[in-house]
A and B are shown apart, each in its own frame.
Chain A
Amino acid sequence: MPVIEVRDLVKHYNNVRALQGVTIAVEKGEIFGLLGQNGAGKTTMVKILLSIVKPTSGLALLLDRPAGDVRAREKVGYLPEDHRFPEYHTGESALDYYGALSGVPGPERRKRIPEMLKLVGIEDAGKRKIRTYSKGMKQRLGLAQAMIHNPDVLFLDEPTDGVDPIGRKQIRELLVYLKSQGKTIFLNSHLLSEVEMITDRVGILELGKLRRLDTVANLTVQKDIYELKLSGSFDALMPEIQRRVKGLRRIEGGIEVDVENQEKLNALIDHLRANNVALAGVTQKKQTLEEVFIKTVEERGPGAAPATT
């Protein structure tokens, strides 16, 4: 049973159609990445699930409860983009406040606060006012407040924003650790390389519509493009190879070919071997998630404005 589910979700802001019938289901223990340009509707979708924004129509369920149900938010943590924590708090008192709001009893809060601060790497700054924190420290505190009540589901909007490369790596490791603990993580991010590294599935939103939804492996695979590592001289065979494939490119130690199907690939390999060219390896070519994303967006046109009614 999905822990996050939206069906035919529609949201209009005056004449702007922020979401146009989005359907997504995220299973327990999954890291799900939602990608999209600015204004694609990613944050709107999360806000609907957390009842910060009301949907125009459609269904939004969180832990099997309607998104507006207060109890649905008891086991949910949220790190918004551009968050701003009350600067009159210290790191510790802020976590105490958010923990209490989430229903964590006092003794447990006292135990969890140092644990959380240590987990996100700001244990030495717990007693300092937030107004003295750097952007990266605030981001880490944001993660801590999202986890203070040990939620089952985490919504993280740009969790590595403002964090240095080492910190980003630590956050990635933390998310993988949380997944291993059975937590479900819903990630909005522009850093596609990071999303690619840790997410199980990815959805690509564009102008309020879900354009792609699949596992990272399936999204990045390039059908019928292969890299062939060859040993021996094959220069003389290039014209014949060119005739047999749709596309041909020389790469270091071999060739990259675009074939119509696997039979054509096998025929090409047979031909090479028949001409004393040994095959050291065959790899199906993959593309990066960034390439997939850009290709998806460019089908419509980059930087297109959100749809209007």
Chain B
Amino acid sequence: MRYLAILKDSLVQTLDCKSLYVMLIISGLFILLCASISYSPLDERGAIQGTVESFRVVHHVKGLDVQTKLLNVTLAIGDVTKDESQNRPSYAFRLTVTGADEWRKLVRTWDAARRMAIDKEGKVPDIDVELDEELEKRFLRMRFRERMIPEATVARVRHDGDVREFDVTIRPASAGTFAGAYRVNIMFGAWSEPLKSPFNVAMFLFVIQSFLSEWCAGLVGVGMALMFTGGFVPNMLQKGSLDVLLARPVHRVTFLLLKYLGGLTYATITSVVFIGGSWLVLSARSGVWNHGYLATAGTLIFFFAVLYSVGVFFAVVTRSAIASIIVPFIVWGGTWVLDLVRKILLKAEVAMPKTVGLLLDAFYYALPKPSSLNDVNGYLMAKGSFGAALEGAEMQIPDIAWAPVVLSQVAFVVVMLALSCWIFSRKDY
């Protein structure tokens, strides 16, 4: 009962904050904007044309990042013949590729990327070596598979200077529309644009959701939540206010931990409303239910929990709302820079004294890791959006080191809260 009372008190405090309503209204506007986005499929020929155009883009993994290359090759389809004699329709057409050099680079880069053969400088092996027909055909078959078209028959019919022609027959995984060519309508149709290659709906959603999760919620949302909740614990610790509480038959540690949970309640409400609401409307409108984006709500709450534990610690030490608000921002900025510097140094394989490397690692593992948590978010969303397609194409999104990122930050929260509790339980007020 006592524990619920403290949580309820935090909720009352949260609901009393006008800031919560401001954040909920802003979230509502974003959700409305998301709800205004709709997609209309193009006709089948347009869909197939959009699909083959997307082949011009190739991705390869470099460290934790996915590098994207767009090659200047023209891929055009001729008339499409549809065969509906079987349970799933098939489509036959001629594909004309113009731009032999760029075509060669495209296929070689794709091939090297899937074999993880691209070196750290981005050099692609055999990039100048002429393509053989089998590799070209494999490229086309696999690229169709990535676009949920598991069956593709390819025959090269022309190989003449700058131009190549292929006779292609494809059979998509479902009798529905193609995934790669849609018209996107924003603000309930006030602005409308066809989704051009390399975007399909999933990719378009990925970009929107990345923006919402990393910038709107991850930066602005967490920042606002830190500002608005920074006063919770210092308010409790105010002279006169604290005396009334400490005279109750409740352990001090209980008060502090439940007040901390009260702050998390605020972050949880706003995150769940913002991410959950935008996920629901974006998914319902697009038909792409990216559970990875939904999972970033958890990451955001976790990230807030890490920084908020810093605020609670400084609140207990100083009883100052200003310190409790400002210090988490300083820690956030400082560790973001540190995280980034470490990442750059690791990527560049800069030779540095062993002690410096050890110190960087020590700070990295001991402190919050905002940049790495962004990577986790990106991974979750990418996995949610493209996991099935990539796995179908026998490709994997590279795993990131979850355990060190998450566990070290859990340890950080535990240490900060344990120190806060220890000080709070011993201090005279």
Q: Do A and B bind each other?
A: yes
**CB-defined contacts of B241 to chain A, threshold 8 Å:** 83-86
Q: Kindly identify which residue among A53, A86, A98, A145 contacts B13, using a CB–CB cutoff of 8 Å.
A: A86
B2–A83 CB distance below 8 A: no
Q: How far is the CB of B256 from chain A (nearest CB, A)?
A: 14
Is B40 an interface residue, CB under 8 A from the partner?
Answer: no
Is A183 an interface residue, CB under 8 A from the partner?
Answer: no
Against A, the Cβ 8 Å flags (1 = close, 0 = not) of B10-42 are 001100110000000000000000000000000
Docked CA distance A64–B247 (Å): 17
Q: How far is the CB of A285 from chain B (nearest CB, A)?
A: 41
Q: Kindly identify which residue among A13, A53, A88 contacts B12, using a CB–CB cutoff of 8 Å.
A: A88
Secondary structure call for the B interface: helix
Is A10 an interface residue, CB under 8 A from the partner?
Answer: no
Q: Kindly identify which residue among A83, A93, A100 contacts B1, using a CB–CB cutoff of 8 Å.
A: A100
Query: How many A-B contacts at CB < 8 Å in the complex?
Result: 88
Q: Kindly identify which residue among B242, B247, B426 contacts A76, using a CB–CB cutoff of 8 Å.
A: B247
- Interface-facing stretch out of A44-52, A188-196, A248-256, A270-278: A44-52
Is B243 an interface residue, CB under 8 A from the partner?
Answer: yes
**CB-defined contacts of A86 to chain B, threshold 8 Å:** 9, 13, 235, 241
Docked CA distance A97–B10 (Å): 11
B239–A53 CB distance below 8 A: no
Is B250 an interface residue, CB under 8 A from the partner?
Answer: yes
Is B244 an interface residue, CB under 8 A from the partner?
Answer: yes
> Which residues of chain A from 25 to 53 have any CB-CB distance to chain B below 8 Å in the complex?
47, 50-53
A52–B5 CB distance below 8 A: no
Chain A residue nearest to B12 in the complex (CB): A88
A52–B246 CB distance below 8 A: yes
Q: How far is the CB of B263 from chain A (nearest CB, A)?
A: 14
Is B8 an interface residue, CB under 8 A from the partner?
Answer: yes
- Interface-facing stretch out of A101-109, A113-121, A164-172, A217-225: A101-109
Is B291 an interface residue, CB under 8 A from the partner?
Answer: no
Chain A residue nearest to B13 in the complex (CB): A88
A97–B5 CB distance below 8 A: yes
**Given A98-B244, A105-B1, A84 contacting B251 (CB threshold 8 A):** no
B243–A52 CB distance below 8 A: yes
Chain A residue nearest to B9 in the complex (CB): A97
Is A54 an interface residue, CB under 8 A from the partner?
Answer: yes
Q: Kindly identify which residue among B9, B248, B428 contacts A73, using a CB–CB cutoff of 8 Å.
A: B248
B250–A70 CB distance below 8 A: yes
**CB-defined contacts of A155 to chain B, threshold 8 Å:** 247
Against B, the Cβ 8 Å flags (1 = close, 0 = not) of A151-171 are 000010000000000000000
Is B238 an interface residue, CB under 8 A from the partner?
Answer: yes
A103–B243 CB distance below 8 A: no
Docked CA distance A145–B245 (Å): 11
Is B429 an interface residue, CB under 8 A from the partner?
Answer: yes
A98–B16 CB distance below 8 A: no
Choose among B9, B251, B429 the residue with the greatest number of A CB atoms under 10 Å from its CB.
B9
Docked CA distance A16–B235 (Å): 28
Docked CA distance A103–B249 (Å): 8
Is A293 an interface residue, CB under 8 A from the partner?
Answer: no
A52–B1 CB distance below 8 A: no
B429–A98 CB distance below 8 A: no
Q: Kindly identify which residue among A54, A72, A80 contacts B244, using a CB–CB cutoff of 8 Å.
A: A80
> Which residues of chain A from 47 to 65 have any CB-CB distance to chain B below 8 Å in the complex?
47, 50-54
**CB-defined contacts of A53 to chain B, threshold 8 Å:** 428-429
Docked CA distance A158–B250 (Å): 24
Chain B residue nearest to A106 in the complex (CB): B1
A100–B5 CB distance below 8 A: yes
A80–B2 CB distance below 8 A: no
Chain B residue nearest to A76 in the complex (CB): B247
Residues of chain A at the chain B interface (Cβ within 8 Å): 13, 47, 50-54, 70-74, 76-78, 80-86, 88-89, 93, 97-98, 100-103, 105-106, 142, 145, 155
Name 6 extra pairs, CB < 8 A, besides A84-B240, A100-B4, A100-B5. Answer: A47-B429, A52-B429, A54-B426, A78-B244, A88-B16, A100-B1
A–B complex contacts, Cβ < 8 Å, 19 sampled = A50-B246, A51-B246, A52-B247, A53-B429, A70-B250, A77-B247, A78-B244, A80-B243, A82-B239, A84-B241, A86-B9, A97-B8, A100-B4, A101-B248, A101-B249, A103-B2, A103-B249, A106-B1, A142-B244
